Amino acid sequence: MSDLVEVDGELWLKLGPEPVALPTPVGALVSPYAGERWNMTTTNTGTDFLFPGGRSGEHIIAMQLRHRLGALGITKAERQGSLTLLLSEVPAAIVAKATGYNSGTTAARAAQAGTDWARYVALRRAGAS
Where are the domains positioned within the chain? Answer: 75-129
Q: Is the pLDDT of residue 123 over 80?
A: no
Candidate from 9-18, 46-55, 69-78, 120-129 with smallest mean pLDDT: 120-129
In degrees rounded to 5, what are phi and psi of residue 28? -65, -25
pLDDT tens by residue, 84-111: 888 888 888 888 888 878 889 998 999 8
pLDDT tens by residue, 16-47: 788 888 888 888 888 887 877 766 666 667 78
Task: Supply the pLDDT for residue 124.
Answer: 62
**Secondary structure of residue 56 in the 3-state scheme:** coil
